[in-house]
Amino acid sequence: MNSDKPIINWEELSTVKDTWALTSLISYELLDIADGKIRAYSLNYKNLNYNVQEFIESIKQNITSYVLNQRAIDAEERAGKDLFLTASKYFGKINPQKDGKFGELILYLLIESVLRVPMIALKLTSSPNDQVKGSDGIFCGNYLSRPAILIGEAKVYKKINPAINSAFRSLNRFYQNQDALDNECLVARQSSRYDCLSNEQMDYIYDCLTIGSEFNLAREVIHPVLIIYDSASVVEAKGADDNELISHLKCLIHESTVQHEAYIVSLLEKFSAIRSVDFFFIPMESVDVFRNAVFKAIHGFSWQNRNPRLK
């Protein structure tokens, strides 16, 4: 039997435009390593400034499709409700320095836009203020033309090596706990985003996400990992205009990416159960400032204003 029956056109399930990454980020590097890939990006420069606000706006425009499936969107529109307001409630009014949902959102945008693999399930909770343990997104489709399930991790840290190390430790828990992957797939089956598919198509997705089934065994498990981190390179880049800044930053990022590669290879040797990774690196001038700015864009006020004692 064909292990990936042409029942579903996976790319058509994607809710993110394939041009999102091209227009929202600058791609610098793609390195092949023995067990995966390393992709380096940066934000755009505008008027000699690292353009965080424009990047945040591109994120904000996709929040509705991230949180709501098409049936929910249609229902909200019939009721005359503000779709963004409804979707933004998923992001609880909690300290942005402790909120992992921003990273999950950006990971979703990158995987659907760059890899063209749709997210199957979102970590929905009964309370938007809860932080849920487990993967940062479950995706199913064709990864580089190969049937795969993608279990994602997103880390937004000030320092890059601790972020990489934390990602590997999180992934390694899947292989230390025999039930971890089964539990992730069970969550995906119970909270599938695609309620407009036929029964046959939904059965196929369920089979792909049922550990030990024929269609599940035919799929590789890939771990896409997003690392957003503070980088001196962003500050140190020099240029008389935006293009020169980008060119200089490209050189600086190349140098740092080689170092990241060596560290990732060493951790792949240490955590031998982890077989396939696909890293996305995005440097920031300040992760703390970025987190606060995303919070304000989503909620319409700053966390510091909500909590005057933090000023």
Per-residue pLDDT in tens (0 to 9) along the chain, 311 residues? 444 455 788 988 899 999 999 999 999 878 999 889 999 999 999 999 999 999 999 999 999 999 888 888 889 999 999 999 999 988 888 888 878 889 999 999 999 999 999 998 765 443 444 445 556 788 999 999 999 999 999 999 999 999 999 999 999 988 887 677 677 677 666 656 776 778 888 888 888 888 888 988 999 999 999 999 999 999 899 999 999 999 999 999 998 888 899 999 999 999 999 989 999 999 999 999 999 999 999 998 888 766 544 44
Is 239 in contact with 245 (CB distance < 8 Å)? yes
pTM over 0.85: yes
15/23 Cα distance (integer angstroms): 16
119/134 Cα distance (integer angstroms): 15
153/150 Cα distance (integer angstroms): 10
Is 281 in contact with 225 (CB distance < 8 Å)? no
Is 234 in contact with 256 (CB distance < 8 Å)? no
Q: At what angle do helices 52-60 and 287-299 cross, to 10 degrees?
A: 40
The set of residues, in sequence order, having a beta carbon less than 8 Å from that of 200 and lying 6+ positions away, is 7
Find the radius of gyration of the CA atoms of the chain.
Answer: 19
What amino acid occupies position 95? N
Domain boundaries of the chain, sorted by first residue: 10-310
**Exposed/middle/buried for 129, CB within 10 Å: 0-12, 13-18, 19+?**
exposed
